[in-house]
């Protein structure tokens, strides 16, 4: 299994080529309240494995491939291999004590990162001042379960702008997320969608007040106070160090080609392209040119 290494190598090289200085965060121990969501994901993968087995038995290779992709999971060995690859690329990484999104948001809040690059809006609930979605140099993404690619553009979401336009505080935004559902309460509150949640919070100001005023039917078994604590005071590490170094070309070739049998020609071609770009004057990344 080398797809994780291939994805990290080519995406990171592409980002470095255009002057973006990435830093990766890795998830640590998930909060106990995420157990339900984790169990749901495990169940989904188990169903996919069963569908894969059935597809193989009837000789449907197209269906088998689709279900096989849905069974993939990241092992601790794959995580360590990814960290080694990033180190050889000269790119810093941070091991989060808990949620990687929370750690990334914390670094952005401190000004050590310009934005959090993620598809997950939870970064905003964790306090990220900026969220960049669809961060890809190729400008396209494959649709799930379809042999079709669509054009995409990076999307910049700024926390203060979101709060100002909707008349919310960050605490109210967290409450809004809890009402419609997060990884810690996937179902959200019964009968509450985004528009209704916004209306309730602008009227009441908080989940507690909304319950007291009868705008919401009780807490519905949701420990919303603990979920708020996760978002507003997440477990993060402050003793990280960010340093971008020169790419270890020989080390990369030995690691990827000797240990994982990557094509030396393809790796050398990618590194040569990167070296040629490196001859140009590099500057601090300016993602705003994309918007």
pLDDT tens digits for range 82-94: 999 999 999 999 9
Domains and CATH numbers, the chain: 3-159+248-278 (3.40.50.1010), 167-232 (1.10.150.20)
Residue in 252, 285, 233, 259 with CA at minimum distance from that of residue 115: 285
The pLDDT of residue 45: 67
Sheet of strand 116-117, all strands in order from the earlier edge strand to the far edge: 116-117, 130-133, 155-158
| 129-171 pLDDT per residue, tens | 999 999 876 677 766 666 677 888 899 999 999 999 999 999 9
pLDDT for res 281: 46
So what's the pLDDT on residue 60? 77
pLDDT at residue 30 is higher than 50? yes
- Per-residue pLDDT band at 123 (split at 50, 70, 90): very high
Tell me the C-alpha distance between 14 and 221, whole Å.
46
Residue 228 pLDDT exceeds 80: yes
pLDDT at 62 over 80: no
Share above pLDDT 90 across residues of the chain, in percent, rounded to a whole number: 63
Per-residue pLDDT, 58: 81
Beta-bridged to residue 150, according to DSSP, are 141
pLDDT at 284 over 70: no
Query: What's the pLDDT score for residue 47?
Result: 76
Q: What is the pLDDT of residue 50?
A: 75
Show Cβ contacts of residue 74 under 8 Å, excluding neighbours closer than 6 positions. 4
Distance (Å, whole) CA 136 – CA 145: 20
Residue 203 pLDDT > 50 = yes
């Amino acid at each position: 299994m080398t797809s994780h290494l291939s994805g990290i190598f080519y995406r990171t090289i592409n980002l470095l080529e255009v002057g973006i200085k990435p830093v990766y965060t890795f998830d640590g121990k998930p909060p106990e309240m995420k157990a339900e969501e984790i169990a749901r994901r495990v169940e989904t993968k188990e169903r996919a494995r069963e569908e894969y087995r059935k597809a193989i038995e009837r000789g449907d290779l197209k269906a088998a491939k689709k279900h096989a992709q849905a069974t993939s999971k990241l092992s601790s060995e794959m995580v360590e291999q990814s960290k080694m690859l990033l180190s050889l690329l000269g790119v810093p990484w941070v091991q989060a004590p808990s949620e990687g999104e929370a750690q990334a948001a914390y670094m952005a809040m401190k000004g050590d990162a310009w934005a959090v690059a993620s598809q997950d809006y939870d970064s905003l609930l964790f306090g990220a001042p900026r969220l960049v979605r669809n961060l890809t140099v190729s400008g396209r993404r494959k649709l799930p379960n379809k042999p079709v690619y669509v054009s995409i553009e990076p999307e910049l979401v700024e926390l203060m702008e979101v709060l100002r336009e909707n008349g919310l505080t960050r605490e109210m935004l967290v409450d809004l997320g809890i009402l419609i559902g997060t990884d810690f309460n996937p179902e959200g509150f019964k009968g509450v969608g985004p528009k209704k949640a916004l209306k309730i919070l602008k009227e009441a100001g908080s989940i507690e007040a909304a319950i007291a005023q009868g705008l919401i039917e009780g807490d519905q078994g949701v420990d919303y106070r603990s979920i708020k604590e996760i978002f507003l005071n997440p477990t993060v590490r402050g003793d990280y160090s960010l340093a971008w170094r020169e790419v270890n070309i020989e080390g990369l070739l030995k690691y990827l080609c000797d240990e994982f049998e990557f094509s030396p020609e393809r790796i050398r071609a990618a590194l040569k392209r990167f070296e040629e770009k490196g001859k140009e004057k590099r500057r601090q990344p300016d993602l705003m040119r994309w918007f």
